Amino acid sequence: QVQLVESGGGSVQAGGSLRLSCTASGYTANSYYMGWFRQAPGKEREGVAGIYTRDSTTYYAASVKGRFTISQDNAKNTLYLQMNSLKPEDTAMYYCARSTYVYRRYGALDPRDYSYWGQGTQVTVSS
């Protein structure tokens, strides 16, 4: 079965950086959408960054564009999220996800297109 395991979260001061990793297993196709989502207490889960694994097309939420970079290492079946210039409002639980199908119906950053989720890793940014 599909498994996604995140790592790399932690606590940093505003302006700092973190790199999240997500190791995927249980499937072999490389034409899915992978994404990073986050959810802060009392808020809905939101898409932060996405990537189409076949051609590495990337997608970013406006709030993180220019600060976050999503990338993949196919040889390691690993997805990354490099987060720079972190702000207190970036504080949330971050989740890695894989799309249900090889196509997307709603959008690369829409949680409705994703059925497989990791357990999450906490990112806390202090001011």
Q: Which tens digits make up the pLDDT trace of 108-122? A: 999 999 999 999 999
What's the confidence (pLDDT) of residue 28? 75
CA quadruple 29, 30, 32, 37: dihedral, nearest 10: 120
pLDDT tens digits, one per residue of 6-57: 999 999 999 999 999 999 998 876 789 999 999 999 999 999 999 999 999 9
pLDDT tens digits, one per residue of 58-97: 999 999 999 999 999 988 999 999 999 999 999 999 999 9
What's the confidence (pLDDT) of residue 96? 98
Task: List C-alpha distances in Å: 83 to 29, 65, 90.
Answer: 27, 10, 9
114 versus 103: the higher-pLDDT residue is 114
